[in-house]
């Protein structure tokens, strides 16, 4: 007897108690069939079916996604409704710009499949739905760069970061689109780079839910070169905004500076490519006796050690 008992204990749990499990399952099934034929009142939630947006309008207000109902039906049908979501609340929408309030009704609830025999007793919520509809608008906007490139020591970014395409079509509510001036890229930083590189960058919609971008990303190209500096001398200094009927002489007549940038920009740079000037209109009090010079910037080139820093302007009648 002990050997038989030991053999039974070694059997899997299901095999040892399969008769008990089957009996219990059969009893639960009989109970469920009896109970599911009874009629019950029950609260359920069904999704709200938002009508398809017309091509030239957009809904800009937040709409609820579910409705709460009180329904009546057999237990089996209620269970099917819960499991298979065979119901929805359809919104009746009149399209046109402006604000309006929808008042959904129990009659707007659509039940299908195994739930068609269920009765909707009451629509509990939402009782009203504020809706704002706007006209759709489109604009072509420039792409703004929010990428930061930090070259390794001894290297420099030459020129601007090239972005292709340079423009994007933004489509959305007119009230938002008319305020936009540019569409930025996402923020991204590149550290310790020392050679040219390219990549792809996402564009950042100011309101991703309501403003669509076409395209949604762009490619970029960054030129990285070894840093070079070069002293350039004998750069002529001119005078701008002189009083009518006068010409000017500048003392000293030239300046020198150190230009920094990528090798391809700095190596061929001479005094002929650099423009220096004095803006006489900015010197009304000193009458040009102690005037600073301004350097016309060149893309990708930085200036330092400008000498001399001040100049004397002598006016002569023409």
Tens digits of per-residue pLDDT, 267-310?
Answer: 999 999 999 999 988 876 656 678 899 999 998 899 999 999 89
Question: Residue 34's pLDDT band (boundaries 50, 70, 90)?
Answer: very low
pLDDT in tens, 136-173: 899 999 999 999 999 999 998 888 899 999 999 999 99
Q: Which pLDDT score, from 0 to 100, does residue 23 have?
A: 61
pLDDT at residue 177 tops 70: yes
pLDDT at residue number 33: 46
Sign of the C-alpha dihedral, residues 96, 99, 101, 104? positive
The residue with greater pLDDT, 79 or 106, is 106
Going by pLDDT thresholds of 50, 70 and 90, the confidence category of residue 28 is low
Banded pLDDT at 46 (limits 50, 70, 90): confident
Q: How far is CA 91 from the centre of its chain?
A: 30
> What pLDDT band is residue 30 in, cutting at 50, 70 and 90?
very low
Architecture of the structural domain at 228-317: Beta Complex (2.170)
314 pLDDT above the threshold of 60:
yes
CA 29, 34, 37, 40 dihedral sign is negative
Phi, psi (rounded to 5 degrees) for 268: -85, 0
pLDDT of residue 1: 46
- Could you name the CATH architecture of 137-222? Beta Complex (2.170)
Look at residue 83 in the predicted model and tell me its pLDDT: 64
pLDDT at 296: 95
Q: Among 267, 277, 282, which residue's Cα sits nearest to residue 306?
A: 277
Answer for the pair 313, 291: CB distance below 8 angstroms, yes or no: yes
pLDDT of amino acid 12: 61
Per-residue pLDDT at 250: 92
Mean pLDDT across the chain, nearest whole number?
Answer: 84
**Least confident interval from 71-85, 92-106, 189-203:** 71-85
Residue 317 pLDDT: 86
Q: What pTM did the predictor assign?
A: 0.59
Residue 107 burial by CB count (10 A; 0-12/13-18/19+): exposed, middle or buried?
Answer: exposed
Scanning the structure block, which residue is given the tokens 């020392």? Answer: 194
| 115 vs 281: which has the higher pLDDT | 281
């Amino acid at each position: 007897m002990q050997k038989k008992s030991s053999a039974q204990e070694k059997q899997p749990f299901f095999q040892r108690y399969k008769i008990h499990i089957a009996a219990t399952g059969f009893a639960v099934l009989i109970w469920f069939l009896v109970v599911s034929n009874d009629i019950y009142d029950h609260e359920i939630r069904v999704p709200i079916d938002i009508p398809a947006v017309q091509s030239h309008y957009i809904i800009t207000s937040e709409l609820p996604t579910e409705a709460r109902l009180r329904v009546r039906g057999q237990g089996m049908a209620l269970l099917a409704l819960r499991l298979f979501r065979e119901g929805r609340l359809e919104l009746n929408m009149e399209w046109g710009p402006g604000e309006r309030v929808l008042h959904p009704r129990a009659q707007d609830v659509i039940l299908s499949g195994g739930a068609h025999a269920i009765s909707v007793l009451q629509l509990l919520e939402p009782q009203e739905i504020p809706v704002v509809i706007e006209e759709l608008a489109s604009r072509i906007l420039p792409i703004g760069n929010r990428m930061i490139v930090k070259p390794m020591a001894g290297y420099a970014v030459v020129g601007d970061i090239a972005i292709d395409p340079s423009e994007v079509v933004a489509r959305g509510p007119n009230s938002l689109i008319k305020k936009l001036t540019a569409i930025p890229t996402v923020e991204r930083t590149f550290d310790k780079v020392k050679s040219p590189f390219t990549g792809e960058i996402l564009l950042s919609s100011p309101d991703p839910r309501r403003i669509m971008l076409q395209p949604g990303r762009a490619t970029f190209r960054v030129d990285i070169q070894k840093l070079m500096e070069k002293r350039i001398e004998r750069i002529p200094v001119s005078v701008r905004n002189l009083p009518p009927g006068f010409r000017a002489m500048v003392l000293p007549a030239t300046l020198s500076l150190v230009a920094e940038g990528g090798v391809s920009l700095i190596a061929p740079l001479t005094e002929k490519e650099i423009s220096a000037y004095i803006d006489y209109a900015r010197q009304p009090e000193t009458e040009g006796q102690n005037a600073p010079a301004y350097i016309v910037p060149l893309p990708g080139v930085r200036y330092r050690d400008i000498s001399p820093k001040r100049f004397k302007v002598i006016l002569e009648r023409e």
